[in-house]
Each structure stands twice: as C-alpha cells, then as structure tokens.
C-alpha cells in the first residue's frame, strides 16, 4: 500500500513551483529467520548428506540430529536461517569423520613403526607425555607427536652413509700365515738327540709367533670404527668405545653400519647385529637393529632399547631408556 502526501506552496488545487509530492511505501520484507528454505538450499543439504552417507553415516540419523537441534520436523518447515545452521552441523560431522580417519591412519603407522622392537619404548614415551599407553585414547596432535618422534629416530635420511659389512680379510690373513713345513728328516745315528732338540725349540718359537699373530689380528678386528662425514659421531667414537665395552667386543658381529643426522639435531649411529652373533642368548639382540643416539652437542649418548643396551654395556641388567651416557674428555 502507498499513500501520497502533497505539500503545497500555493493555493490549494494549484500546482506552483516548489510543490513536492511525496510517495510513502510500506513493503513487507521478511527476515531470514522467517523466509522459507529455497529449492537450491534443499538440494545443497541433500548433496552434503549424500557425501556423509558415502563415508558411512546414516542419513536418517543425520536428519534426526538436524531437526532436533533446529526444532523442526521436516525440511519444509526449515527457514533460510535453519539452512545455514544445518550446513554447520553437517560440516562438523565431516570434520569429525576426517579427523577420525587421520587418527586411525596415524595409529596404524605408529604400530608398524614401533612393533614389536620399540613397543616398550613407545609405551614409556606415551605414558610420560600423555599419561596413557593407549594409542586410541590420544588425539590427532598427540599421535602426530608420537609418530614424529619415532620417525625421526628410526628413518635413515638421504645423507646417511651405509658401510659394507666388516671385511674378513683380518681373519683370512691369520689363516694364511706361512707355516713351516714339517718334512721328515733322515737322521744318522748319533745325531738324533740334537735334531729332536732343534725340532722342539723350533716348534716352541713358531707357536709363540703364531700366538702373537693371532693376538694382533684379534685386537685389530675387535676395535669398532666407522667412516662418516658426521663430525659429532666421528669425535664421539673413542668415548663410545670407552663407555660401551660391548661395542669393541662384539664389533665383528655388526653389519650395515651407518650414521645419519635427525631433523631434531640428534646424531644416530646404526648397525645390525648378526643373527649368528657370539653374544649371550639372554641379551635377546641377535638379528636386531641397534641405534646409538648422540645429543646435538655431542655431550652424551642414549640407547633406547633394552637388548641393545645389554649388548653395548655387556650385561643383562641395564638402566632404562632415559639413561644418559655422558662423554668425558
């Protein structure tokens, strides 16, 4: 409806210069809370619903949730404002589903990375930082922290230098020490005692030299060493030999020796213990991969797994994974 109102500057009924005619309109504009939902909005809701159904959600339960929160019974009762509220509800559902998928993926990756060799260390880490060992009870950020820690610890980076297994040339050189031929001698009567004495003296001297050769070879092959471009690891080798008696003692049983630097700044020395290693059975380390982690400043080292600590300390009872081996000058 509209009404005209005329202001008159001249006599009534006469239009003169300056007369103004004002039109007053009253339009009925409904707010979004009262506007009914449009067909396009309905289609958009159904599209979002179908996407969630494809991810395993129940369409009926989704509609029930929407109607309960918006206080509606059917989609036809919904307003334009209700549409926006319904979209927010469905988007939250989608985010929750994606977050759950991400968490499940992280859990499977962590288990593949740490089971079975690092399971106890994983449990200690989770208990220390999050108060539980149950991976399913951790949120996405906590799972990312666990995965990142063990991924940095165990993965070999491109700059790592893999060494070939220790050469057996030392052992072979011992085996090829020239031996004296023991040819029978025809002795004449009267010289038998002299020849026998000479023979035994020669055997004693030869045995002494043979024993010395074996001792030298054994000493040479039992000293742990590694070729690396990592200055921290190179400088730490003498201290590691001193702190870990098993490092030299069982070095002949190590292969695939390598080193690398973690993203966190730690320096890692890695080696595999032979499945036929001459180590005590109760160390439970045969065939396992061991890691010696050196602090970024090279001041101390840590060994996370109990079997590797037993091997390096050469004793079954060892401190826990928090134990730090300081380097002394």
pLDDT tens digit string along 22-73? 545 444 545 656 788 889 988 998 898 898 888 888 888 888 999 998 888 8
Last residue of a domain, one of 154, 171, 198: 154
Is the pLDDT at 303 greater than 50, yes or no?
Answer: yes
Tokens representing residue 53 in the block: 């159904």
Confidence at 242, pLDDT banded by 50, 70, 90: confident
123: number of Cβ within 10 Å: 15
Indicate the number of domains in the chain. Answer: 2
Of 104, 128, 154, which one is at a domain's C-terminal end? Answer: 154
Eight-class DSSP state of 271: E
Specify if 128 maps to a domain.
yes
> Does residue 240 share a domain with residue 140?
no
- The answer to whether position 269 is within a domain reads yes
* pLDDT at residue number 187: 44
Look up the domain containing 300 and give its range. 228-326
Percent helix, strand and coil across the chain, each rounded to 5? 50, 15, 35
Asked if residue 186 is part of any domain, the answer here is: no
Query: pLDDT value at position 164?
Result: 44
Structure tokens belonging to residue 262:
């973690």
| Model pLDDT, residue 180 | 46
**Per-residue pLDDT, 167:** 46
Whether residue 244 sits in one domain with residue 149: no
Which residues are CB-neighbours of 225 under 8 A, at least 6 positions away?
237
Is 132's pLDDT higher than 60? yes
Instruction: Report which of 283, 288, 277 is spatially closest to residue 253, judged by C-alpha positions.
Output: 277
The residue from 103, 132, 154 where one domain ends is 154
For residue 327, report the phi and psi dihedrals to the nearest 5 degrees.
-100, 130
pLDDT at 128 over 80: yes
Identify the pLDDT of residue 329: 45
Domain contains 199: no
- Within a domain: residue 110? yes
């Amino acid at each position: 409806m509209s009404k005209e109102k005329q202001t008159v500057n001249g006599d009534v009924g006469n239009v003169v210069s300056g007369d103004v005619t004002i039109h007053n309109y009253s339009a009925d504009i409904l707010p979004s809370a009262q506007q009914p939902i449009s067909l396009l909005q309905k289609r958009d809701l159904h599209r979002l619903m179908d996407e969630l159904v494809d991810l395993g959600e129940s369409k009926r339960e989704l509609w029930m949730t929407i109607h309960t929160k918006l206080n509606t019974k059917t989609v036809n009762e919904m307003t334009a404002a209700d549409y926006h509220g319904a979209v927010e509800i469905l988007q939250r559902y989608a985010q929750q589903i994606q977050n759950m998928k991400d968490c499940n993926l992280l859990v499977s990756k962590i288990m593949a990375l740490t089971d079975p060799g690092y399971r106890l260390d994983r449990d200690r880490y989770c208990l220390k930082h999050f108060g539980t060992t149950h991976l399913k009870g951790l949120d996405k950020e906590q799972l990312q922290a666990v995965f990142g820690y063990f991924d940095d610890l165990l993965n070999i980076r491109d700059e790592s230098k893999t060494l070939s297994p220790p050469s057996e040339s030392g052992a072979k050189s011992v085996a090829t020490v020239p031996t004296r031929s023991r040819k029978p001698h025809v002795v004449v009567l009267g010289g038998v005692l002299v020849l026998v004495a000479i023979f035994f003296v020669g055997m004693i001297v030869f045995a002494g030299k043979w024993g010395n050769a074996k001792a030298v070879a054994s000493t040479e092959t039992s000293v742990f060493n590694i070729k690396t471009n990592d200055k921290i690891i190179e400088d730490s080798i003498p201290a590691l030999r001193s702190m870990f008696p098993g490092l030299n003692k069982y070095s002949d049983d190590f292969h695939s020796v390598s080193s690398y630097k973690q993203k966190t700044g730690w320096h890692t020395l890695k080696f595999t213990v032979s499945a036929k290693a001459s180590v005590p059975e109760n160390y439970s380390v045969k065939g396992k991969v061991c890691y010696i982690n050196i602090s970024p400043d090279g001041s101390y080292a840590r060994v996370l797994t109990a079997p590797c600590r037993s091997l390096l300390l050469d004793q079954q009872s060892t401190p826990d994974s928090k134990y730090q081996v300081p380097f002394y000058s």
